[in-house]
């Protein structure tokens, strides 16, 4: 209301002012904008200004600007009071002063509310009537002015013709001008130290010195927010989990990749053919080196994209895993065998040759004292040799090819068992002390009267007579079939003989010399018996058939073990003097060592021989064993047996002894060790016996 | 060619040259040096005839060029080399060959035995002289039939007569040795025993407790002589005794197959020292001149020991050239460095301990194994072997060279 009142007062004064102006009917002339504005305003402005809705939005500035603009052409009736609150003139009849200093009187306001309302209803220009507070008059805006107001309200430029999108000329541009923007010389202050700053600094320094201000503390980050969480952890554990493996780098290009490779890198025709044949993954080079005369002629690499792609795949898709592979030298896995040099003594060289036989020497045996050697040959003779001089001391013609000789191991008797045809002869060579000779004679001749009790058996005992007696033959044990082997028991009283026969159970006989009795221990035929042996200590009896070795307990009369030799045909067998180990030679070139405590399978198979193994032997004292073969060689092996059950025997081949001449495809037929020295005797098909020491 | 300063000296009065150093080529060999000495001698004595010399540098025979020898021996070539020269030992030549009916197992100073001559029931293994003066001599034969027979030999009528039959061994008697005084002898046998017997022939038989039912053939041998029993038995060997000898009248030394050489005191019957080897010993020989034991063993080496070392097995020197068992070895009776050896490789070798790399001479006369070698005091070498031949070699060891 207040405002309204003032408005009405204003309009009163402005009406007074308007009186001097022109007629107010011209509204639409554009040319006479100013004149029309001036003229019309005086009258209608007051009323209209109250009615136009946007009046309030028009600021006084706009109006003033507008009036300045319009006053330029016409007599100026503008108020000179300035931008002051108009209510200061509320109580005065005038509203301000014009340019000449005369009072501008408030127009006479005689309009009341009703007039105003009527004016609003009737005056068509009411909406464009604006009340000018400074003059207190109502101004009716022309069309141009309304248009201008509308434009401004829309945020457009007031001038219709102004092109806001005209091309601009940039003051700062990329172009370097030859003239500087300003040619003003540099200030003096730009090159002399600032006194103010110096003063400021000295103040700060003084303050720091006095301790008024403290320099900003640098924050210590060493044990701050960021630290290694796993630094205390063991690095080896950490390394275990470090599974990242960077992809291998692409090798640098070499001569092959060159556009002009040296000729040795170019493919020959075969190489090219090979390259084309190979699977791409197998190729050594993924491309063919090609030669160009100049770099300019090198075409694009056709597989470039492909290779890049594969490389990318390799970089981020290829699963890489750290392989924990133990690098083991295969030679380290072989157990360290001691050198043969450290395993001495063993026979190394041939020392003596015992010559005299005319047929192949099938069997040899050394006397328990080691002084005599007996040999049986196919020429029908048994010869006795002095070991140390190789002199043949005695020759006994037995009249048949001798298959086997065996010296009685008992040192208190001197007896030799000889197997030929179907007879086993017991010889007393009388190559010993008188008492030993007489003891053996007593053994043979004793218990005469017991004999006929069971003479009906398959074996008959007979005494030698006449010429045979003079030669030393004492007893003849007649067997039903051809005897192949005779073996003594360690005590020297029992004697086992072997008659290999497929069809009969009468293959093995055990004879007791002192009582002249023979018995067949086996009731059933378990296969072709190859050889037999007594256990050196316990009452066991080893029977080797073609593929297996059976061990019988003679006291309990039962089989205790059956050893499976993984060979086709066992030829020979020897029992370790300790009694816990057996070696078997076979016709398929193998030698198998059985550890009786370990298993029924061979502990070790030695395949050193080229041909059939004919004979095997253990040394009685030294840890040696030997095998003789048809390839003419004798192989000496070191075989230490430990008392400790946990330790397996140590088997080292130490020496190959050659010397025998292969005759009729037969090489060495029998081997035996000297009882006390590390010497070995071998008999061969070349009718000789050789001593290796 | 570099030169060496050498000074020659000899102990042989006949070939002494001036004691001044000579400059000789370093590469000169024995022939060159021998020529030098001969020229020097010729300059001194116009009537000198050429003699071959051997040269010793610091006790070792020169066999290669002088510079090489000194290099291997580590002798400085800066100083004056002292070279001793001796007249060269000429090669022994087989002089005589005596055929026997059987293998010769032993020879002792010019006599050998085989089974047929003697009258043992078995092979004779060893012989030894007891006494060789006058018309009748005494000799011993050890045999495989476990006895030792003492024979009396009348050289005039060339007849032998068995005086004593020494019984007691229970194995073949392999070796027998008479003591220096000729009053005792020692025998070693396969039964691991050593036995000392009296060597004085008597007319009384020792008391022998023989079993009554002894075989007939033993009684027959008994008739060959009066039975004698051992004075002493030395036991300690674990294997057969292969060789025995007397070091002096109180000490017996024996070698055995148990790889030991043992020295026994005859007075007390105890063992004094043991020398342990690694192989079977076949034979030993002792030289009183150089006090060394030479042993031949089955590993083809001849080894020299000092018997006075206590319980050691220090090998002083090893002579290696044989390719078979060394069955016999004998020191020269008059030369402290020389010994002869026989081996199963049919060779007899003459050695000088000053040249241990190679023997002086190989005597390849035998066609079969050599079993025995010996020297005679008259400078003959003897060897016998399995080819039934006994060879004698004339050997011209220069008398002045005999040391001692």
Structure tokens at B336: 């402290």
| pLDDT cut 90: percent of chain B above it | 0
CB contact, 8 Å: B201 with chain A? no
First to last CA, chain A: 151
B369 to A391: CB separation less than 8 angstroms, yes or no: no
Separation in Å, CA A502 to CA A499, A526, A531, B10: 10, 9, 14, 85
Out of B172, B257, B386, name the one closest to residue A677 (CB). Answer: B257
Contact B170, B143 (CB under 8 A): no
- Highest-pLDDT range among A428-432, B98-102, B222-226: A428-432
Strands B3-9 and B81-87, sheet pairing: parallel
pLDDT in tens, B21-67: 778 887 777 888 888 888 888 877 777 777 778 888 877 777 777 77
Predicted pLDDT of residue B135: 67
Q: How far is A592 from chain B (nearest CA, A)?
A: 31
User: Where do we find the tokens 């400078």?
Assistant: B379
What length does chain B have? 404
pLDDT over 50 at B309, yes or no: yes
pTM as predicted: 0.64
If you average pLDDT over residues B370-379, what whole number do you get? 79
Measured between beta carbons, which residues in chain A are less than 8 angstroms from residue B191? 433
Residue B257 at interface with chain A, using a CB cutoff of 8 Å: yes
Q: Which of A41-55, A72-86, B168-182 has the highest mean predicted lDDT (pLDDT)?
A: B168-182
User: pLDDT band at residue B313, thresholds of 50, 70 and 90?
Assistant: low
H or E segment and range at residue A271: helix A269-277
Taking CA–CA distances from A348, the nearest residue in chain B reads B299
Contact list, A386 vs chain B (CB under 8 Å): 123, 144
Task: Give the residue with greater pLDDT, B111 vs A476.
Answer: A476
Give residue B122's pLDDT: 63
Report the residue from B105, B218, B240 with minimal CB separation from A434: B218
**DSSP for residue B269:** -
Give the strand pairing for B159-166 and B226-228. Answer: parallel
Indicate which of B299, B370, B372 best probes the interface with A, i.e. most A CBs within 10 Å of its own CB.
Answer: B299
Average pLDDT over residues A44-66: 49
Confidence of residue B312 (pLDDT cuts 50, 70, 90): low
Separation of alpha carbons B234 and B193, rounded Å: 6
Q: Can you tell me the mean pLDDT for B98-127?
A: 61
Distance (Å, whole) CA A256 – CA A290: 8
pLDDT at A388: 81
Question: CA B204, B207, B208: angle at the middle one, nearest 5?
Answer: 125
Distance CA B242, CA B310 (A): 22
In chain B, where the domains are located = 3-87, 94-203+224-394
Write the pLDDT tens digit of every residue in A274-306: 999 998 888 888 888 999 999 899 998 888 999
Nearest to A422 by CA among A499, A363, A474, A365: A499
Chain B interface test: which of A349, A434, A470 (most B C-beta within 10 Å): A434
pLDDT for residue A262: 92
- Interface probe for A, chosen from B115, B280, B297 (most Cβ of A below 10 Å), is B280
Confidence of residue B133 (pLDDT cuts 50, 70, 90): low
Q: Which of B103, B257, B344 sits opposite A352 (nearest CB)?
A: B344
> CB contacts < 8 Å between A and B, how many?
48
CA nearest to A435 within chain B: B170
Query: pLDDT tens digit string along A377-397?
Result: 888 888 888 888 888 888 888
Mean of pLDDT values over A183-191? 85
A692 interaction partners in chain B (CB closer than 8 Å): none
Mapping DSSP onto H, E and C, the string for B329-349 reads EEECCCCCCEEEEEECCCCEE
Q: Per residue in A515-554, pLDDT tens? A: 778 888 887 777 888 888 888 888 888 888 888 888 888 8
Q: How far is CA A189 from CA A181, A185, A527, in A?
A: 20, 12, 128
What average pLDDT does range A323-330 have in this prediction? Answer: 80
Among A389, A437, A675, most B C-beta atoms within 10 A, so best to mutate, is: A389
Provide the mean pLDDT of chain A. 80
How far apart, in whole angstroms, are the C-alpha atoms of residue B36 and residue A480?
86
Comparing alpha-carbon positions, the chain A residue that sits nearest to B297 is A693
Name the DSSP class of A619: -
A393 to B123: CB separation less than 8 angstroms, yes or no: yes
Integer-rounded Cα radius of gyration of chain A:
69
Averaged over A244-253, what is the pLDDT? 80
Q: How many helices (H) and strands (E) does chain B have?
A: 4, 30
pLDDT at site A243? 65
More confident residue, A414 or B220: A414
Cα–Cα dist A140/A107, whole Å:
16
List, in order, residues 6 or more apart from B261 with CB less than 8 Å away: B253, B254, B255, B274, B275, B277, B281, B284, B293, B295, B305, B307
Q: Using DSSP, state whether A65 is helix, strand or coil.
A: helix
Strand positions, DSSP E, A13-166: 94-97, 103-105, 129-132, 137-140
What order of strands is seen across the sheet that includes strand B281-287?
Answer: B281-287, B292-297, B301-305, B315-320
Q: Which of A195-209, A271-285, A606-620 has the highest mean pLDDT?
A: A195-209
pLDDT digits (tens, 9 = 90+) for B342-373: 888 888 888 888 877 778 888 888 888 888 88
Q: What would the DSSP string read from start to end of A35-58? A: HHHHHHHHHHHHHHHHH-TTGGGS
| CA proximity to B102, closest of B122, B116, B85, B82 | B116
**Mutate which of B106, B144, B296 to test chain A, going by most A C-beta atoms within 10 A?**
B144
Residues A489 and A417: their CA atoms lie apart, in Å, by 12
The sheet carrying A591-595 orders its strands as A570-575, A581-586, A591-595, A604-606
How many Å apart are CA A505 and CA A521, to the nearest integer? 10
H/E segment holding residue A120: helix A113-122
ipTM associated with this complex: 0.80
> Which tens digit of pLDDT belongs to each residue from A569-603?
888 899 988 888 899 999 888 888 888 888 888 88
Return the higher-pLDDT residue of A442 and B214: A442
Backbone angles phi and psi of B28, in degrees to 5 = -70, 145
Q: Is B66 helix (H, G, I), strand (E, B) or coil?
A: helix
Residue A476 has pLDDT above 80, yes or no: yes
A433/B257 CB distance under 8 A: no
| Torsion (CA) A638, A643, A646, A649 in degrees, nearest 10 | 10
The answer to whether the Cβ–Cβ distance between A693 and B146 falls below 8 Å is no
Say which residue the tokens 């010769």 belong to: B104
Residue A198 clears pLDDT 90, i.e. is over it: yes
Q: How many helices (H) and strands (E) does chain A have?
A: 12, 33
CB-nearest to A391 from B103, B300, B324 is B103
Angle at A275 between CA A269 and CA A279, to 5 degrees: 155
A272 band by pLDDT with thresholds 50, 70 and 90:
very high
The confidence score (pLDDT) of residue A40 equals 47
Query: Coil, strand, or helix at residue B136?
Result: strand
| pLDDT per residue as tens digits for the range A121-149 | 888 888 888 888 777 778 888 888 899 99
Is residue A564 helix, strand or coil? strand
Q: Are B241 and B174 a contacting pair, CB within 8 Å?
A: yes
- B103-126 burial, b if ≥16 CB within 10 A, otherwise e? bbbbbbbbbbbbbeebbbbbbbbb
pLDDT band at A54 (very low <50, low <70, confident <90, very high): very low
Structural fold of domain B3-87:
Ubiquitin-like (UB roll) (3.10.20)
CB-side neighbour CA atoms (13 Å) of A209: 6
Distance from C-alpha of B111 to C-alpha of B108, rounded to nearest angstrom = 6
CATH superfamily of B94-203+224-394: YVTN repeat-like/Quinoprotein amine dehydrogenase (2.130.10.10)
Structure confidence at residue A204 as a pLDDT band (50, 70, 90)? very high
Residue of B nearest to A350 (CA): B324
In the stretch 67-106 of chain B, residues with CB closer than 8 A to chain A read 103, 105
Name which of B171, B240, B279 is nearest A433 (Cβ-Cβ).
B171
Q: Do A371 and B105 touch (CB under 8 A)?
A: no
pLDDT(A201) > 90 = yes
| B240 Cβ under 8 Å from any chain A Cβ | yes
CA dist A96 and A652 (Å) reads 139
Nearest residue on chain B to A676, alpha-carbon basis: B239
Q: What's the burial of A62, exposed, middle or buried (CB within 10 Å: 0-12/13-18/19+)?
A: middle
Provide the residue count of chain A: 693
What pLDDT shows up at residue A235? Answer: 64
Give the residue carrying structure tokens 């060891």: B397
A269 pLDDT above the threshold of 70: yes
pLDDT at A233: 63
Does B280 touch chain A if contact means CB atoms closer than 8 Å? Answer: yes
Ordered structural domains, chain A, with CATH: 78-128 (no CATH), 340-446+458-692 (2.130.10.10)
The backbone region for B349, taken as left when phi is positive above 0, alpha when psi lies in -120 to 50, beta otherwise, is beta
Q: Chain B contacts of A351, Cβ < 8 Å? A: 298, 324-325, 344
Instruction: Point out which residues pair with A301 in neighbouring strands.
Output: none
Pairwise CB contact (< 8 Å): A345 & B278: yes
Asked if A676 and B170 come within 8 Å (Cβ–Cβ), the reply is no
Reported confidence tier of residue A261, pLDDT bands at 50, 70, 90: very high
**Would you say residue B335 has pLDDT above 80?**
no
Phi and psi at A641, nearest 5°, equal -110, 130
Residue A512: pLDDT above 90?
Answer: no
For A557-577, b where at least 16 C-beta lie within 10 A, e where not — what string?
eeeeeebebebeebbbbbbbe
pLDDT on residue A244: 66
Nearest C-alpha of chain A: how many angstroms from B170? 5
Provide the shortest C-alpha distance from residue B82 to chain A (in Å): 41
A582: which 2 tokens?
């057996």
Q: Comparing C-alpha atoms, which of B360, B397, B358 is closest to residue B376?
A: B397
């Amino acid at each position: 209301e207040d405002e309204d009142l003032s408005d009405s007062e204003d309009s009163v004064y402005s009406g007074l002012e308007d009186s001097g102006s022109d007629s107010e009917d011209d509204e639409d002339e554009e040319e006479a904008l100013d004149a029309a504005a001036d003229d019309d305003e005086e009258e209608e402005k007051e009323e209209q200004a109250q009615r136009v809705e946007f009046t309030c939005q028009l600021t006084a500035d706009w109006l003033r600007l507008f009036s300045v603009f319009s006053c330029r052409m016409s007599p100026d009736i503008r108020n000179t009071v300035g931008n002051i609150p108009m209510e200061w003139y509320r109580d005065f009849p005038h509203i301000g002063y014009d340019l000449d200093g005369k009072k501008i009187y408030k127009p006479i306001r005689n309009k009341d509310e009703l007039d105003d309302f009527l004016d609003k209803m009737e005056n068509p220009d009411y909406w464009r009537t604006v009340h000018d507070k400074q003059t207190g008059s109502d101004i009716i805006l022309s069309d141009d002015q309304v248009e201008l107001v509308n434009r401004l309200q829309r945020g457009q430029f007031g001038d219709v013709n102004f092109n806001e999108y005209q091309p601009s000329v940039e003051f700062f541009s990329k172009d370097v001008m030859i003239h500087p923007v300003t040619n003003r010389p540099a200030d003096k202050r730009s090159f002399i130290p600032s006194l103010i700053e110096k003063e400021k600094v000295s103040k700060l320094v003084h303050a720091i010195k006095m301790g008024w201000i403290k320099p900003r503390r640098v924050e210590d980050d060493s044990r701050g927010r960021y630290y290694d969480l796993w630094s205390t952890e063991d690095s080896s554990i950490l390394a275990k989990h470090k599974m990242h493996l960077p992809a291998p780098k692409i090798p640098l290009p070499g001569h092959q990749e060159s556009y002009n490779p040296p000729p040795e890198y170019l493919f020959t025709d075969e190489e090219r053919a090979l390259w084309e044949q190979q699977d791409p993954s197998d190729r050594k080079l993924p491309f063919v080196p090609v030669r160009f005369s100049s770099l300019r002629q090198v075409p694009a690499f056709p597989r470039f994209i492909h290779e890049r792609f594969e490389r990318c795949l390799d970089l981020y898709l290829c699963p890489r895993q750290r392989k924990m592979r133990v690098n083991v030298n295969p030679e380290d896995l072989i157990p360290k065998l001691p050198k043969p040099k450290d395993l001495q003594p063993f026979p190394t060289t041939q020392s003596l040759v015992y010559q005299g036989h005319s047929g192949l020497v099938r069997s040899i045996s050394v006397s328990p004292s080691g002084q005599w050697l007996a040999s049986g040959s196919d020429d029908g003779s048994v010869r006795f040799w002095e070991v140390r001089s190789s002199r043949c001391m005695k020759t006994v013609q037995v009249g048949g090819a001798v298959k086997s000789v065996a010296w009685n191991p008992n040192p208190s008797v001197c007896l030799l068992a000889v197997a030929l045809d179907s007879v086993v002869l017991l010889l007393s060579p009388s190559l010993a002390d008188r008492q030993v000779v007489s003891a053996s004679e007593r053994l043979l001749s004793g218990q005469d009267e017991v004999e006929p009790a069971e003479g009906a058996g398959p074996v008959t005992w007979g005494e030698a007579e006449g010429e045979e007696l003079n030669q030393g033959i004492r007893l003849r044990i007649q067997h039903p079939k051809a005897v192949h082997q005779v073996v003594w028991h360690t005590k020297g009283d029992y004697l086992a003989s072997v008659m290999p026969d497929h069809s009969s159970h009468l293959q093995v006989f055990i004879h007791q010399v002192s009582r002249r009795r023979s018995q067949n221990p086996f009731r059933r035929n378990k296969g072709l018996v190859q050889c037999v042996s007594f256990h050196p200590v316990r009452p066991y009896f080893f029977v080797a058939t073609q593929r297996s070795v059976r061990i019988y307990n003679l006291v309990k009369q039962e089989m205790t073990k059956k050893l499976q030799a993984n060979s086709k045909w066992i030829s020979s067998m020897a029992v370790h003097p300790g009694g816990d180990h057996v070696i078997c030679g076979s016709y398929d070139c193998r030698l198998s060592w059985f550890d009786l405590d370990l298993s029924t399978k061979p502990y070790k198979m030695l395949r050193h021989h080229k041909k059939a193994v004919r004979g095997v032997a253990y040394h009685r004292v030294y840890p040696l064993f030997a095998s003789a073969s048809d390839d003419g060689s004798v192989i000496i092996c070191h075989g230490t047996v430990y008392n400790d059950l946990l330790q397996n025997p140590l088997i080292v081949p130490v020496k190959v002894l050659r010397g025998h001449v292969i005759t009729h495809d037969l090489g060495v037929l029998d081997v035996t060790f000297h009882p006390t020295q590390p010497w070995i005797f071998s008999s061969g098909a070349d009718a000789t016996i050789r001593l290796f020491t | 060619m570099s030169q060496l300063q050498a000074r020659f000296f000899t102990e042989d009065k006949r070939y002494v040259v001036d004691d001044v150093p000579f400059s000789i080529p370093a590469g000169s060999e024995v022939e060159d040096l021998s020529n030098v000495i001969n020229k020097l001698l010729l300059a001194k004595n116009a009537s000198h005839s050429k003699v071959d010399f051997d040269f010793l540098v610091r006790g070792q025979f020169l066999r290669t060029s002088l510079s090489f020898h000194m290099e291997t021996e580590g002798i400085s070539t800066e100083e004056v080399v002292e070279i001793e020269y001796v007249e060269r030992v000429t090669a022994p030549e087989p002089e005589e060959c005596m055929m026997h009916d059987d293998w010769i197992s032993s020879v002792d100073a010019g006599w050998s035995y085989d089974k047929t001559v003697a009258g043992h029931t078995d092979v004779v293994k060893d012989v030894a002289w007891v006494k060789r003066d006058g018309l009748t001599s005494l000799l011993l034969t050890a045999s495989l039939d476990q006895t030792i027979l003492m024979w009396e030999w009348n050289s005039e009528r060339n007849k032998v007569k068995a005086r004593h039959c020494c019984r007691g061994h229970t194995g073949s008697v392999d070796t027998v040795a008479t003591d220096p005084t000729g009053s005792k002898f020692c025998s070693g046998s396969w039964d691991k025993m050593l036995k000392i017997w009296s060597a004085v022939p008597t007319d009384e038989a020792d008391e022998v407790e023989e079993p009554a039912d002894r075989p007939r053939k033993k009684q027959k041998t008994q008739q060959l002589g009066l039975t004698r029993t051992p004075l002493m038995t030395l036991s300690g060997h674990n294997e057969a005794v292969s060789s025995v000898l007397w070091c002096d009248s109180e000490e017996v030394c024996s070698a055995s197959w148990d790889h030991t050489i043992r020295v026994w005191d005859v007075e007390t019957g105890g063992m004094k020292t043991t020398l342990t080897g690694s192989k079977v010993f076949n034979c030993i020989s002792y030289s009183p001149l150089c006090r060394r034991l030479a042993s031949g063993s089955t590993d083809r080496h001849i080894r020299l020991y000092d018997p006075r070392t206590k319980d050691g097995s220090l090998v002083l020197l090893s002579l290696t050239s044989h390719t078979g068992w060394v069955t016999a070895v004998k020191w020269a009776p008059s030369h402290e460095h020389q010994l002869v050896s026989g081996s199963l490789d049919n060779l007899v070798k003459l050695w000088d301990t000053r040249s241990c790399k190679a023997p002086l001479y190989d005597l390849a006369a035998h066609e079969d194994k050599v079993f025995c070698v010996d020297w005679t005091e008259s400078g003959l070498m003897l060897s016998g072997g399995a080819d039934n031949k006994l060879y004698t070699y004339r050997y011209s060891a220069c008398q002045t060279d005999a040391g001692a």
